[in-house]
Structure 1
Amino acid sequence: MDSNGRYGGAVTDLAPWPHGDGCQERGSVVADLAGEFGAELVRAIRVGLAQEGKAAPAPRTPSHLSWYAFATEYARAHWPGRAAKTRDETSEGLTAVTLAMCWDLPGRPSERLLRRALRHWAFVVPKPGQPPAPVEDRLVLQWVAKASRPLADLHDPILARDVLESLRRKIDGGEAAVETMRRKRKVLVHALHYAVERGELAGDPLARVRWRVPKPSGSVDPRVVANPSQARDLLAAVSYVGGYRRARGRRLVGLFAGMYYAGLRPEEAIAVALPDCRLPQTGWGRLIVHRTLPQAGKRWTDSGDYHDDRGLKNRPPGETRVVPLPPHLVALWRESVTDFGTAEDGRLFFSERGGILSYTAYHYVWREARALALSPALASTPLAKRPYDLRHSALSTWLCAGADPAEVAQRAGNSVEVLLTRYAKCLYDRQSINNQRIEELLSAYENPRMLEQ
């Protein structure tokens, strides 16, 4: 009832009740109000009794699961459907954390044996028919299972910080690269979130630890970018690597040219197949990029091959990208098909035996070509040190030529934001033009006669 005498939608009168028929009418109103109030009271009592009748969930007791047992479970749960490189990175991160989560019990194996057993067997889902781990590795893993600390120990901020600090160190004790630290920490964070989902941890143990990975550089080092003249010299030098008959270098000229003239990533260039290309006699050609062949290792791929067969990077399965091919690149690719043919699946670039090119094979060729093409002074700099730097040089050149950033991003398979952020420091030609304009203006003021004119 409120101050106006309203209760449950009805109005009550505080004046004295009249006699006779009015009294009967007023009694009926009171009875209706009492009935409504009683019904509400009964419903409230029933709800309260029902809630009291439910047994309160008993609080979960602290998990006694060891970190090693949990990590192996996590690795197997996150194996199906993952990219081979992702599996490799997960194993690398779990190995680093596992080593930091072991007590120093007697009989500790060497660091080399620990890492080999963990990386090769502990966090890998074996393929059907695969032989078991060697006896030595099985003994190492038995020691790890005994020495592993409980997962719940990570709630201790001191231990959690020690584990995070271990991600900074390389095998030789030096400081790891920022990207390596970031990758390992990402694995640890995802694993702990999984533990919280499974109820093994009450909350995120890292929330109480103020520890951050150094921020990586988001831009390309301008020193790695080759200008068009340097790129032509490097591609010409590739053809001189190795003997003419084996053609170690000649068969890879088109591969490196695709990275420079079409801005392809190495794993995209390796997967280029003739049916996806339009290579006219003259003029511009076209390539439809839809497949990549990143090298991961037999242990991580479902097929057991060294290379994983994937779609485009950071794109949904089945998505494609159209890349225009300049006439010079079209001529190089036509010449490669004429001289060496194609692999069985139509790939333009392949090993002498027709296999997929390995990372080591084309990096050795590039290293030799770089020594041939560059002077000793330039060879000692980061200029085009890796084949991937050819892609950086291509995108920088396109932007310097004044190409529309949206079009450049589409050809490269990047977002416009990432493109401009990564290559903002590499626009040498624009800086030169602006420097020339500033110099002309300063020179004009140094010569007053020019201003009078």
Structure 2
Amino acid sequence: MSETTYDVRIWTIHQYKGARRTTYTAKWRVGGVKHQRTFATAKLAEAFRTSLLVATREGMPFFVDDGLPANLRAKQPEQSWLQHAMAYVDAKWPTASARHRKGIAEALTDATVVLLGVNPTGVDATQLRSALYRWAFNSQARTGPLPPGLEAAAAWAERSSPSLAVMADATRLRAVLDRYARRQDGKPAAPATVARKRATLHNVLEYAVELEHFDSNPLKKVKWRAPKATDVVDRRVVVNPAKARALLEAVWQQDPAVAAFFACIYYAGPRPAEVRALTIHDCSLPDSGWGQLTLVGSQQTSGSAWTDGATPTEERGLKHRSTRDTRLVPAHPELVAALRRHLDHFQAGASGQLFVARTGRAGVPISPPYANPVDTGTIYRAWHRARAAALTAREFDSMLARRPYDLRHACLSTWLNAGVPPARVAEWAGHGVDVLLRVYANCVEGDDEIALGRIEGALR
């Protein structure tokens, strides 16, 4: 039997504002031994502290080893994995971007399906994944009722979830990591996807350490080798200037409203989401010569289930920068001409947006003022049609400029090949110099010839 005492002192709740979340810690001392328990919300922390105060007023003895009174100790249920994972989602939700929220839900859904094991008769696997992904790991969705048809799957998951303590088992963790390494169809997952999901699992367990469920992160003990990830751009996706101009012209012939969208990426190098946020006020377009674009943010599409508003698009700051930062990039004369042509033919959006949704579902035209940024589906369909028109059958089936983002790779590679200092290219691209050189190491033409020439000179 553990030692008990009536020597108890309880302090006020300590609030800690971290870089990513705010936590609330109840601290107390029992028989000279200090104890603390951290909570995600102030209400939970105050409720726990109140229960300690009530126990002291009623003259209950406290156990020295865990600092709890007899009544609370008996009532402390063991937290389940599902409860902890949902608490982690709630802690991250306020400050996470919509795409980050969605990524967390994907990783936790995969992990939970593995931990739940074999489904019983009557619980469909698809419904189980949907209940976890769309409801359990979506803080916003949990404020309302469960989606129809998912009640049984959600109830079974809650009843069958193992204790959080099972995450100390290396075998369980390895099974989750092995699941991360595969897609739903059983094929190997992309290394970047595996790394992202593993990072989520690591953070969930770090949160458990923070709440004192574990002394250390159990994931660190698992010797699991993740697929090798590479950031280096494959030079096969980089399109040359002649082929890029042919693709841009093909877009103008078939989908003129978004032709300048692709021209921005190819000639100035912004990310597609940054182009979606571009307004007429951000463009300096002289009658001749070079212009300039001021990038002020990005428009990310994740779905209305993950954003704070009712729209599928979320306005964010520039990548890896504060919300007020801007980035200046030069606008090549051909880009200036493309943007001026765009403005001559198409009306800007309500707030001056250059690229807006001009048609709704089934291609029905939308009347101005245009309020929403152009849909990513529209962008990808236009690019697919342009590739089919401008490329040969062999090129179309290849990796060449397969995605609009590949135009950014072509732009930055062109700048580097032209001899622009890497520091300036990194500044325009919104990269660090080290990242730029690592990512585009294989795309700088001429390096091989220079190196071989130096070797010949040395051997002479």
In the superposition, the TM-score normalised over structure 2's length comes to: 0.79
**Residue from 406, 414, 422 that aligns with 2:439:** 422
Alignment pair present for 1:277 and 2:283:
yes
Question: Per-residue displacement from partner, 1:106-130 (whole Å, max 9, x unpaired)?
Answer: 33622211121111111112279x7
Classify the secondary structure of the residue corresponding to 1:322. strand
2:158 pairs with 1:141: no
2:346 matched to 1:334? Answer: no
How far apart in 2 are the matches of 1:323 and 1:385? Answer: 24
Whether the 8 Å contact between 2:233 and 2:409 is mirrored in structure 1 is: yes
Q: Distance in 2 between matches of 1:438 and 1:208?
A: 47
In the other structure, the counterpart of 1:408 is 425
Deviation at 1:136, TM superposition (A): 1.6
* 1:231-283 deviation per Cα after TM superposition (whole angstroms, max 9, x unaligned): 00110111222xxxxxxx10111000000000010001111100111111111
For 1:77-103, what per-residue CA distance to the aligned partner results, in whole angstroms no more than 9, with x for missing partners? 110021111111111111111111114
Q: Judge conservation of contact 1:103–1:148 (CA < 8 Å) in 2.
A: no
Percent identical among aligned pairs is 38
Letter in 1 for 2:400: L
Measured in 1, the distance between the counterparts of 2:136 and 2:401 equals 38
Per the alignment, in what secondary structure is the counterpart of residue 194 of structure 1? helix
Tell me which residue corresponds to 2:215.
202
CA distance in 2, matches of 1:134, 1:401: 55
Who is 1:28 aligned against? none
Question: Equivalent residue for 2:270?
Answer: 264
The gaps in structure 2 that reach 5 residues or longer are 1-28, 35-63, 68-72, 359-365
Q: 2:104 aligns with which of 90, 107, 120?
A: 90
- The match for 1:71 among 71, 85, 90 is 85
Cα distance change, pair 381–433 in 1 and its aligned pair in 2 (3 A): farther
> How far off its partner does 1:133 sit?
2.0
Question: Cα distance, 1:413 vs. partner?
Answer: 0.5
* Structure 2 contact 274–297 (Cα < 8 Å) conserved: yes
1:282–1:327 CA contact under 8 A, matched in 2: yes
- The gaps in structure 1 that reach 5 residues or longer are 1-50, 242-248, 446-453
1:54 is the counterpart of 2:32: yes
Task: Report 1:181-330 matches (<5 A).
Answer: 181-241=194-254, 249-330=255-336
User: For 1:282 and 1:367, how far apart are their aligned partners in 2?
Assistant: 32
Residues 138-160 of structure 1 deviation map (CA, whole Å, 9 limit, x = unaligned): 22110101111111011122122
The Cα shift of 1:74 comes to 1.1
Verify the 8 A CA contact 1:108 1:143 in the aligned structure 2: no
Where 2:378 maps in the other structure, the secondary structure is: helix
Secondary structure in 1 aligned to 2:99? helix
Structure 1 counterpart of 2:158, one-letter code: A
Structure 1 position 428, deviation (Å): 2.3
Looking at structure 2, the residues matched to 393 and 108 of structure 1 have their Cα atoms a distance apart, in angstroms, of: 52
Of 383, 404, 425, the residue aligned with 1:387 is 404
* Alpha-carbon shift at residue 132 of structure 1 (Å): 2.0
Larger radius of gyration: 1
What residue identity is the alignment partner of 2:333?
A: P
Note the C-alpha offset of 1:53.
6.0
Amino acid at match of 1:134: P
Q: CA deviation at 1:367?
A: 0.7
Q: In the aligned structure 2, how far is the partner of 1:81 from the partner of 1:109?
A: 34
Query: In the alignment, residue 222 of structure 1 is paired with which amino acid?
Result: R
Partner of 2:95: 81
Query: Which residue is 2:193 aligned to?
Result: 180
Rounded to whole Å, the distance in 2 between the matches of 1:351 and 1:103 is 44
Further displaced range: 425-434 or 210-219? 425-434
Task: Name the counterpart of 2:131.
Answer: 117
Find the aligned partners of 1:159 and 1:126 in 2 and give their Cα distance.
29
Taking only aligned residues, the RMSD between alpha carbons, in angstroms, comes to 2.4
Looking at structure 2, the residues matched to 127 and 209 of structure 1 have their Cα atoms a distance apart, in angstroms, of: 34
Give, in whole Å, the separation in 1 of the partners of 2:33 and 2:300.
54
1:24-69 alpha-carbon deviations (Å, 9 max, x no partner): xxxxxxxxxxxxxxxxxxxxxxxxxxx9962575148997211111
CA distance in 1, matches of 2:196, 2:118: 26
Structure showing the higher strand proportion among its residues = 2
Structure-1 separation of matches of 2:217 and 2:282: 48
Partner AA of 2:238 in structure 1: V
- TM-score when normalising by structure 1: 0.80
Taking CA–CA contacts closer than 8 Å with sequence separation of 6 or more, which of the two structures ends up with the larger relative contact order?
A: 1
Distance change in 2, residues 1:380/1:135 (3 Å): closer
Over 3 Å counting, the alpha-carbon distance change for 1:53 and 1:343 in structure 2 is closer
- The separation in 2 between residues aligned to 1:364 and 1:210, in whole angstroms, is 43
